[in-house]
Structure 1
Amino acid sequence: MSPVVEDLPAAVGKAFDPDQPRDEHGRWTSGGSHYVGPEDAPGALGRWKAESRFSDLVDLLQASAGNQRTLASIGSAIAASLGVAFADPGPKTPESARRKFETKGYETAGEMTDLVRAGFTAPAPADADAVVAALAEQLDVIDEGWARTPLGYVDRKVLVRFPDSQIGEVQIWEPNLIDAKNTRGHALYEEWRRLPFDDPRREGYAAEMRRLYSAALEKAGPSWEAVSRGDGGRFGKRASNTSRSSTLADIPTSALSTGRHSPRRNAQAARGVQTAGRPSQEQ
């Protein structure tokens, strides 16, 4: 059964303090769902994978369609309530899922975490905190925090668990950074990763990406300074030197759902969305 989202606006408005007491597993509990912060994320994810009922990829793919609809429903409600942009690319294709399963050498389908995926743009770190809090009111959440790659890109990764035990991924992006990625950064990244490791042109592409994202972070404003350093703000951080590749499919502007007409935080909608990704989340 999908989580009920009718009461979401009230849940979103509920105060959320990541420093409040948690249970013996480091989980913040509220409304029947659980929040796990960055410090406890690796252990929690291991438990989720061990607890997954999915061993066969076919079964996981069949479950993905319904769970994607659930995530889209929850995400759209959160976006409308908070005035942030939400992106729903749909679930990963069967071909992409099978390729990743084989490439990564997974033993069971339950180890896969991004067949169901979505994203939000957050004009301020506080908006990202509010998104995570709202997600935790509806689903079990592992918040891996903000991370900065060696190429200068910063985003936040949140894993969610559905009632049937499938794990999904939600990413949160700063608008200037995702705009820089869409307009120039992703093209640079594709050129960079195609080159052999010993090709001297790689450093030129890397330096250009670092300049691009540094300029974007400067435009983001002072509220993003801690995040831009990889400190992760109130929620701590995950490994800041982790190299990442593209996770979600390119998401056109039409995939965005925003609450700009009734924002709580005067948030601005992003112009377009594409993810940063991680090694474990390849297409």
Structure 2
Amino acid sequence: MGRMFKALIIVPILVIRVPAYASQPEFKALPEQSSFAYEHSQPNRALTDLLSIPSFRASSVKQPFDQLDALYEAAPQAQNELEQLAGKLAKQVNGNVLTAGVKGKQRAEEKVEKELGGDASLLTDIVRVTVETDSIDALNQAYETLAANTQTSEVINRFHAPRPSGYRDLKVLVTLPQSKLIAEVQLHLKAIADIKNGPEHQMYEQIQQIERNAASEARALNDIELAKIEKLRRESRQLYQDAWSQYQPLSMVV
């Protein structure tokens, strides 16, 4: 009886963490994505917390302006606000801020026209920044601080559901408190970001070149090209897995 009582009181409780902010918009779960399963013998609290951050998207995610010119008029101030916020965040967790500045207008015009049906209010990455940390615990702290100081409207947790390449990050859309623009914040682990910005990017360019060559000749990829692409993708997955293993994740079962 004593053993049964102890078993009952130590059953772990899974807490799903939803970003904290004063006025939470309605949100819907993102479509299910394929992911890796994990098994472990000793719990890793920081990793468990990271994997439990839910992916979601608010029912309405729109900028306060529906004209691109109006967005670009407000963007510099919003970018400055975001970089200041990210700087404080990075300092708190001993991380780094990486920024490419406001999205180029030509690229934005193409995206609005080809991907967003002409509606500039759906352009949510005109203002963006990356915060890079070198531990899972620091990344968790960065996310919690970001969620506490902004209104969060989307989270994509690629640590829970990695891309087929093995790439992982945490992408968050937030509404900035002062400018009210929606901004994109990517939270990275350094070793994974180094792969993305280095060897994996080169592999991606090689794959793109192979596909462009075939397209320019109006033909399907041949067996040699397909084998080359698959080899590059295998190498990419291994690089990302090696980088991820540096943070001592739970053993992975594919």
TM over 0.5: yes
- Aligned residue number for residue 241 of structure 2: 214
Whole-Å separation in 1 of the counterparts to 2:196 and 2:250? 19
Whole-Å separation in 2 of the counterparts to 1:191 and 1:182? 14
The structure-2 alpha-carbon separation of the partners of 1:28 and 1:154, relative to structure 1 and needing over 3 Å to count, comes to closer
- Aligned residue number for residue 162 of structure 1: 176
Is the 8 Å Cα contact of residues 143 and 187 (structure 2) preserved in structure 1? Answer: no
Larger radius of gyration: 2
Q: Does residue 145 in structure 1 map to residue 136 in structure 2?
A: no
Moved over 3 A (4+): 17-20, 27-30, 32-40
The structure-2 alpha-carbon separation of the partners of 1:121 and 1:137, relative to structure 1 and needing over 3 Å to count, comes to same
The structure-2 alpha-carbon separation of the partners of 1:129 and 1:84, relative to structure 1 and needing over 3 Å to count, comes to same
Whole-Å separation in 2 of the counterparts to 1:167 and 1:129? 21
Structure 2 unmatched runs, 5+: 1-13, 30-52, 212-219
Is the 8 Å Cα contact of residues 68 and 120 (structure 2) preserved in structure 1? Answer: yes
- Aligned residue number for residue 111 of structure 1: 122
- Aligned residue number for residue 263 of structure 1: none
- Aligned residue number for residue 171 of structure 1: 186
Q: Quote how far apart the aligned CAs of 1:53 are.
A: 2.7
Q: Quote how far apart the aligned CAs of 1:165 are.
A: 4.1
Q: Does residue 99 in structure 1 map to residue 110 in structure 2?
A: yes
- Aligned residue number for residue 123 of structure 1: 134
Which secondary structure state, in structure 2, belongs to the residue aligned with residue 187 of structure 1?
A: helix
Q: Quote how far apart the aligned CAs of 1:28 are.
A: 4.3
Q: Deviations over 1:92-137 (max 9, x none)?
A: 0111211221221434211111111011112222211211111122
Aligned residue type for 2:188: W
Is the 8 Å Cα contact of residues 34 and 139 (structure 1) preserved in structure 2? Answer: no
Aligned residue type for 1:76: G
Is the 8 Å Cα contact of residues 90 and 96 (structure 2) preserved in structure 1? Answer: yes
Pairs within 5 Å for 1:240-279: none
Structure 1 unmatched runs, 5+: 1-16, 21-26, 231-283
Which secondary structure state, in structure 2, belongs to the residue aligned with residue 144 of structure 1?
A: strand
Q: Quote how far apart the aligned CAs of 1:63 are.
A: 1.3
Q: Quote how far apart the aligned CAs of 1:204 are.
A: 1.7
Pairs within 5 Å for 1:24-63: 28-30=19-21, 32=22, 34=24, 39=54, 41-42=56-57, 44=58, 46-49=59-62, 52-63=63-74
Segment of structure 1 superposing worse, 123-132 or 142-151? 142-151
Q: Quote how far apart the aligned CAs of 1:29 are.
A: 3.5
What is the TM-score when the length of structure 1 is the normalising length?
0.63
- Aligned residue number for residue 190 of structure 1: 205
Q: Quote how far apart the aligned CAs of 1:33 are.
A: 6.2
Q: Give aligned pairs, total.
A: 200
The structure-2 alpha-carbon separation of the partners of 1:121 and 1:135, relative to structure 1 and needing over 3 Å to count, comes to same
Whole-Å separation in 2 of the counterparts to 1:209 and 1:98? 32
Whole-Å separation in 1 of the counterparts to 2:209 and 2:150? 38
What is the TM-score when the length of structure 2 is the normalising length?
0.69
Whole-Å separation in 2 of the counterparts to 1:187 and 1:144? 25
Aligned residue type for 1:208: E
Is the 8 Å Cα contact of residues 33 and 136 (structure 1) preserved in structure 2? Answer: no
Q: Deviations over 1:199-230 (max 9, x none)?
A: 31211211121122122222x232x348x779
Q: Quote how far apart the aligned CAs of 1:195 are.
A: 2.4
